[in-house]
Amino acid sequence: ETGVTQTPRHLVMGMTNKKSLKCEQHLGHNAMYWYKQSAKKPLELMFVYSLEERVENNSVPSRFSPECPNSSHLFLHLHTLQPEDSALYLCASSQERATQAKNIQYFGAGTRLSVL
Amino acid sequence: GQNIDQPTEMTATEGAIVQINCTYQTSGFNGLFWYQQHAGEAPTFLSYNVLDGLEEKGRFSSFLSRSKGYSYLLLKELQMKDSASYLCAVRRGSGGGADGLTFGKGTHLIIQP
């Protein structure tokens, strides 16, 4: 148990559906992240939130829409996805400090998404 | 562009030692991380290097050479439960604030009896 919980663990959706992925962290952290992990490809950073403000958007298509209502919760809203968006979506959190320390990112177990 | 290379797969014997190498070429550098990921589970933090040299933590050690853009993860006294993927990641941020990590593709380590 890493202190970062993602739901659902598995999701199957059609290309016209709208769904949301949820992430909750119980570690008191102030930064949260979305990553995409596809087969035979490295984890790719999608979005970074620090103190509930988006600080990085890594050229992600607009069919992915993040939301961070508070420091403990992060959502990824999905609409009109493509089959190539099928992947494992991982959420992470960290405690960011003004002076750079380890700032270890703790990951959830991910949501396995299949787009039909 | 950003490039992090590590071997795709390695095989080792229970009780032995294995070294997993990682080379990186990134536009910035502010620390290198190693994570372990078992199939279907969350990546879990193993080690962190920001200065040159060796960091030791139990059966796991990690080494960094910033001038060579090179790191390795050393696993000793291998156990069957060490069969997993090992991910090398670089933080490129300039310091302070939240920074995403850039990952390699991961090394799938297979431990044989």
The pLDDT value given to residue B96: 54
Instruction: Tell me the nearest-neighbour CA distance from B56 into chain A, angstroms.
Output: 15
Lowest-pLDDT choice from A42-56, B50-64, B79-93: A42-56
Over residues A15-28, the pLDDT tens digits come to 888 999 999 999 99
Higher pLDDT, A57 or B63: B63
A10 close to B (CB below 8 A): no
What residue of A is the nearest CA neighbor of B40?
A109
Instruction: List chain B residues with CB under 8 Å of A34.
Output: none
The pLDDT value given to residue B1: 65
The pLDDT value given to residue B72: 98
Question: Residue B42 and residue A110: Cβ atoms within 8 Å?
Answer: yes
- Which tokens sit at B74? 């050393």
Higher pLDDT, B78 or B39: B78
The pLDDT value given to residue A59: 85
- DSSP states along A8-67: -SEEEE-TT-EEEEEEEE-S--SEEEEEEE-TTS--EEEEEEETTEEEEE-S--TTEEEE
The pLDDT value given to residue A32: 95
Strands B107-112 and B101-103: unpaired
The pLDDT value given to residue A13: 92
Q: In the A/B pair of chains, how many CB contacts fall below 8 A? A: 73
Strands A31-37 and A44-50: antiparallel
Question: Residue A109 and residue B31: Cβ atoms within 8 Å?
Answer: no
Over residues B4-60, the pLDDT tens digits come to 999 999 999 999 999 999 999 988 888 999 999 999 889 999 999 999 999 999 999
Question: Residue B4 and residue A42: Cβ atoms within 8 Å?
Answer: yes
The position carrying tokens 């991961």 is B106
Residue A91 has pLDDT above 60, yes or no: yes
- Which tokens sit at B65? 């050479």
Residue A29 has pLDDT above 70, yes or no: yes
A48 close to B (CB below 8 A): yes
Residue A57 has pLDDT above 60, yes or no: yes
Of A40, A50, A110, the CB nearest to B98: A50
Instruction: Tell me the nearest-neighbour CA distance from B26 into chain A, angstroms.
Output: 15
Give CA–CA dist B113/B109, Å, rounded.
13
The pLDDT value given to residue B22: 98
